[in-house]
Structure 1
Amino acid sequence: MIHLINKSGASVMLTERGAGIVSIVVPDRNGVMGDVVLGYRDEESYLADGPCAGKIPGRFANRIDGGRFTLDGKEYQLVKNHPGYQLHGGPDGFSNRLWKASQISDTEVVLTLDSPDGDQGYPGNMHVEATYTWGEDNSLTLSIKATTDAPTILNLTNHTYWNLDGEDSGSIFNHVLRINASRWLATSEALIPTGELAPVEGTPMDFRTAKPIGRDIKADFPALKYGKGYDNCWVLDGAPGLKLAAELSSTASGRRLEIWTDQPAAQVYTGNWLDGSPVSKSGRPYRDYDGVAIECQGFPDAPNHPGFPSCVLRPGETYSRTIIFKLFA
């Protein structure tokens, strides 16, 4: 495990398995420290866990329809880990690999991973670097860079589950969420994008004004029935570049989270299938809806939708993305 700590005593724990976030310990409104991310009791539990808790999935986060795509006229068949699609880069994706950590200081670490040509069906030898920096203001910055020696596709994110009342506090239905997005990606029943950028207005997908996560989660709306809750991608408003993607808050603890990114979209997953996950740090099993993941990323299934932002990376180019988690109380 890798420990980052700032002068206030607030801390982050990371694992080389999947370059994942294991814990983030920050004060509530009364100054009481608490761990606000879901995670497991032992490091071994991070191998092949269904929730992908805290980790960096890849090479391609989210879904690719049929587990196949065409690039420069050549079709590639990926290793599928779900019927009809590949999720999060396949059964042995980046989230299950041991990354190599180099701790720079008490507040910074660089984790690297080399992915060979043909890995899970993807072309090109790829080198990835993920840098976590823990600020004195309780902000955690994740900077991800990658290069390749052959044309390929790439979509990287972080899959942390948040519970601002504490990781052992149960349902996040009372957490208040705002998403800076006026459109979302409509999907099939398998949660594969149809290609439609649908307006959120007048639907349960509208989080432009902050509202409790649980307010509409059981609404009679197809997307919510497909995933047993929110498991959808929002198209972030605003010009390209670093912007505020989402805000999450809890009136119970007084904690608040801002997520900033230069990614074009954010997948919000309300932990709809957490039942049966490994034993938590607190020793109890997590239940459905005990945490919410806000995954800043490129568009899912982008290689199969020419109208979506490109996810192609070519030799000589550097993939560079930033996600910042800012915590307040």
Structure 2
Amino acid sequence: MDFTPTEEQAAARDLAARIFGDLSTHERLTAAGTGSDAELWKALCEAGLPAAVEDIGLIGLVLLLEEQGRTTAQVPFAASCVYGLLAVSAHGSEEQRERLLPAIGDGTVVVTGALPEAAVRVGGSGELSGVVPVVPWLRDATHVLVADEEHGLWLVRTVDARCDPVELTAPWSAGRLTLDATPGEPLGGSLGERQGGPEAAAAGQEAYDDVLATARTAFAGLQAGVCAGSVARAVDYTNTREQFGRPLATKQGVQLRAADAYMDTEAIRVTAYEAAWRRDEGLEYATHALTAAWWASEAGHRVVHAGQHLHGGMGADLDHPVHRHFLWGRQLDAYLGCGSEVLQELGALIVDGEGDA
């Protein structure tokens, strides 16, 4: 396997780095509060970055999300690309692809996902009912991807549902989704096709598994960026902060803590790259996605704590930029699932003989 970016992937990554670096500043993040940055989202869409994901693949998206994570940019980039562009591209009908992909690419349609927190019930005419307590970026979304009790995927317009604001650890513009006989659109076909027996059910399960594994991989990549940003801030601080006439970075304990955080960050990155590469190559990658999620959850928790600790008393300042990395790291830890839960699911796949080669 070769994780070297293609020319197109490298160009998209570099462009994303410039846009995030220029616009996702401490001052703008402070002004945004717990909401998203509409101007930054517009700039990303005008630059063609969400649309580019269809061509640069999941590993290209992971590269872009690393850049978002480094700056903790408050935009629904990960959600709309995973639950919208990649999901519709891979599993939508031809009509859905023609109608939705251009709009997702230019940002006029924003999709988020309610997987796998809860399943919704489907009525005989395709109406959906159920409650999802927390959906990230729901307040920014025009559509939300939900799963029914048999893991069939549905697109719901947020204007047809009840969406109540919810505040999370990280400022992800989240909401509570309530569906009450809400109309839904089956991803990939008509209601009749969705209710078409075992073959249709198997196709629905395959789509659900792919979208969930894609999400785990992408959000692990986002965590790699969050952790890289936290480590970079800690390195800068300990190199410039002096104690008894010497930089903190010269102390062995500080060096060891920073080195451990760096190695954890690299483990998150390489496992996310491997899972993304396997999906792009058409290989089985479910267990690789779970492995990336485990590293992102367990190691990510350690890294963002280390980033705060290495800032000493400054790390306790809620207004310090490193605190955002801490909040994002803990939110991603919770979103991906605690380490023991992920390991249990991974073990079950291996026992059932579904592990990838």
TM-score (norm 2): 0.31
Instruction: Pick the structure with greater CA Rg.
Output: 2
The structure with the greater share of residues assigned to strand is: 1
TM-score (norm 1): 0.33
RCO higher in structure (CA 8 A, sep ≥6) = 1
The structure with the greater share of residues assigned to helix is: 2
